[in-house]
């Protein structure tokens, strides 16, 4: 098993697909649409007829199938200031600069709750939100860890920790308002389940305007992180019971310049070769505020 995806067909049936090898096709799992059951060791038969991809990079499916979030994380947590680039940017923008340098050098990492119950988290091609009370909103591309019982890392995915740099920079105590709002998190498009622990991931971001022009693009590698994945998970579960399937986003090393802000109508694409491409349009959070409750 290399990657897991979920999709819904034209009749509303949700299916789980598995890519046994790196062959660009998926096979539907028979008997469950819950990826956590597979990640925790249960076995199910697969449909032998392969489902080809129309686009290997973005995992676009044909045949009337629409890609979904690969699973519904019961909680989403984030780690902050895990890259030097992130530390430097936060110190430059913040009214209280020393706090970011102190956490970068400290034994204990910064961890905060981003979402619970998927109320603010969206999947591939769904709109991400930006705050209307902020003029400086940014994407934060990150590797996400799917955490199982006793802090075991079950899979890897892409996450976008959409944030207001203006609000966080005004006062660190405003962190929750800078990070938690409608459409503030996107995850997907697949769950990557390697045979061995990966050494590092390459992360590429591209933001395009409505006319197709590139508003921002950059790349980094998780090899530049100051903390390991296992270290971050260890702190997350320390005296803190998190449900299996919880997502931990591990921080960003990609920080746009001060002259960039996300705007409605733009598209954010985050590419990690092992996972695929997570693509989302940008919208006002106020337009998304009631979507998860109606």
pLDDT for the residue numbered 56: 67
SS (H, E, C) the chain: CCEEEEEECCCCCEEEEEECCCCCEEEEECCCCCHHHHHCCCCCCECCCCEEEEECCCCEECCCCEEECCCCCCEEEEEECCEHHHHHHHHHHCCCCHHHHHHHHCCCCEEEEEEECCCCEECCCCCEEECCCCCCEECCEEEEEEECHHHCEEEEEEEEECEEHHHHHHCHHHHHHHHCCCCCEEEEEEEECCCCCCCCCEEEEEEECCCCCEEEEEEEEHHHECCCHHHHHHHHCCCCCCCCCEEEECCCCCCCCCCCCCCCCCEEEEEECCCEEEEEEEEEHHHCCCCCCC
What's the pTM? 0.93
Q: Where are the domains of the chain?
A: 3-68, 75-287
| Domain pair 3-68 / 75-287, same fold | no
CATH superfamily membership of 75-287: Fumarylacetoacetase-like, C-terminal domain (3.90.850.10)
pLDDT values of the chain reduced to their tens digit, one per residue, 294 residues? 689 999 999 999 999 999 887 667 899 999 999 999 999 999 999 998 888 777 766 777 888 899 999 999 999 999 998 987 776 766 566 656 577 778 888 899 999 999 999 999 999 999 999 999 999 999 999 999 999 999 999 999 999 999 999 999 899 899 999 999 999 999 999 999 998 999 999 999 999 999 999 999 999 999 999 999 999 999 999 999 999 999 999 999 998 999 999 999 999 999 999 999 999 999 999 999 655 544
So what's the pLDDT on residue 278?
A: 97
Neighbouring residues of 42: CB distance < 8 A, sequence distance ≥ 6: 32
Distances (CA, A) of 149 to 109, 153, 286: 21, 9, 36
- Is 3-68 CATH 3.10.330? yes
């Amino acid at each position: 098993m290399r990657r897991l995806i979920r999709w819904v067909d034209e009749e509303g049936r949700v299916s789980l697909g598995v890519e046994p090898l790196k062959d660009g096709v998926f096979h539907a799992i028979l008997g469950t649409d819950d990826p956590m059951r597979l990640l925790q060791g249960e076995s199910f038969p697969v449909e032998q007829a392969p489902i080809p991809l129309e686009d290997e990079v973005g995992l676009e499916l044909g045949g009337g199938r629409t890609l979904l979030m690969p699973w519904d994380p019961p909680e989403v947590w984030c780690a902050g200031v895990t890259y030097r680039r992130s530390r430097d940017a936060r110190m430059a923008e913040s009214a209280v600069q020393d706090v970011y340098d102190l956490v970068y050098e400290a034994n204990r990492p910064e961890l905060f709750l981003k979402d619970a119950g998927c109320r603010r988290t969206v999947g591939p091609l769904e709109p991400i939100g930006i705050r209307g009370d902020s003029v400086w909103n940014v994407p934060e591309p990150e590797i996400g860890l799917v955490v199982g019982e006793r802090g075991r890392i079950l899979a890897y995915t892409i996450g976008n920790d959409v944030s207001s740099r203006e609000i966080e920079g005004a006062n660190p105590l405003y962190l929750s308002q800078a990070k938690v709002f409608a459409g503030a998190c996107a995850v997907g498009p697949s769950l990557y389940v390697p045979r061995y622990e990966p050494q590092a991931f390459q992360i590429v971001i591209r933001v395009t305007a409505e006319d197709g022009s590139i508003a921002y693009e950059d790349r980094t590698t998780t090899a530049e992180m100051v903390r390991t994945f296992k270290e971050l998970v260890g702190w997350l579960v320390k005296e803190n019971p998190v449900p299996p399937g919880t997502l931990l986003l591990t921080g960003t090393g990609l920080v746009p310049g001060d002259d960039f802000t996300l705007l409605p109508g733009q598209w954010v694409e985050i590419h990690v070769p092992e996972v695929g491409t997570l693509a989302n349009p940008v919208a006002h959070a106020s337009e998304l505020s009631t979507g998860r409750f109606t």
